[in-house]
Amino acid sequence: MRPTGITVATLNLYLGADLAPLFGAGTRDELARRAAGIWSAVEASRPAERMAAVAALLTRYLPDVLALQEAALWRAGSDDNPRTHDLLNQLLSALEEQGTPYRVVSECTGFTSTALSSTLASATGQFVELYDRTALLVRDDPSVRASNARQGRYRAGVQTAMLGHPLEITRGWCSADVRVGRVGLHVIDTHLESIDTPTRIAQAHELATEIIHPPDNRPPTIVMGDLNCRPTRCRAVRDQVPVRAREVTGDAYEVLTGVGLLDAWSRLYPEEHCGGFTSGQAPDLRNPISALDHRIDYVFTDGQMAATHAHVIGDHLEERTLSGLWPSDHGFLVVGLEV
């Protein structure tokens, strides 16, 4: 790597289960059954084993900066017998064991299930808690420094209800100034709404107008994360896409490119604008061949840095875990940048 270069990666680690069944529960007993099913799915996804596989992948490329989404903290059981899966700490531990330590420099908690957990606890004595986190990590090396950490939640959120009680699904972002050797940049990590298009567009406008827009003295800016929408003019490979599926339009993508951000993948590979698939593995992660079929994970630059290379990792058979699971339902995007 030349001294003016830096490597970054964006990784959606996958919660381990689909939360949608929770919102259709009509009674506390039904909610408890569905929550138990989700916890079983999380455990079946073997979070620690998956994070070890992610760490092994990252040691091949050693990105200077990691943007994580769905770096979840799960807790379940009872107060006397709690069980925990902390994907962020599991990944940090696995990276340490690989001899390639990273450190967290900025972190945001988006959706939390505290309302769900208290409802379950009052009904059954058991709880299931989820804290959905977005986090920025840097290599734990003296040449990599970070400062000015910030984080926040978008004002736009999905308003729904659970057993008649109002519930808001929130999303957030985190950022930091990072310097790798001679290279300094401002990094933003985000995860936009998946189930509601108007909310996602509103979040993208907040990101574009209030968070990205830099003061005059800010270094080059990059935005990484899961936008939950495909690039403009791109269709999914699948023959059928469910109504309101998260990838049906280029909405948030258009908002960000409309304020001058450049899609690193598309700039490098204009003939593969709709390629570079990063999402689509089966919810149980056991599909025998990769099912990635659309691109919703991105690295954007503000034009002050040029992308030199980009590739997707975590989508080859040999990159699965020892028990045959894909590391995530997403592939991970690695991008090289140079001033």
One-letter amino acid identity for 105? Answer: V
pLDDT of residue 100: 96
What own/partner pairs with CB < 8 Å and gap ≥ 24 does 279-282 have? 279/12, 279/226, 279/247, 279/329, 279/330, 279/331, 280/238, 280/329, 281/326, 281/328, 281/329, 281/330, 282/329
DSSP-assigned letter for residue 210:
I
Among the four given CATH numbers 3.60.10.10, 2.170.120.30, 3.30.230.10, 3.30.457.10, the one describing domain 5-338: 3.60.10.10
DSSP-assigned letter for residue 22:
G
- Give Cα separations from 118 to 75, 114, 162 (angstroms): 13, 6, 12
DSSP-assigned letter for residue 330:
B
Q: Which residues of the chain have pLDDT under 50?
A: 1-2, 122, 239-248
Instruction: Find out whether 8 and 77 touch, Cβ atoms under 8 Å.
Output: no
pLDDT of residue 118: 54
Closest to 60 (Cα-Cα) out of 338, 325, 316: 316
Instruction: Find out whether 191 and 183 touch, Cβ atoms under 8 Å.
Output: no
pTM for the full predicted model: 0.91
Instruction: Find out whether 111 and 132 touch, Cβ atoms under 8 Å.
Output: yes
Annotated domain spans of the chain: 5-338
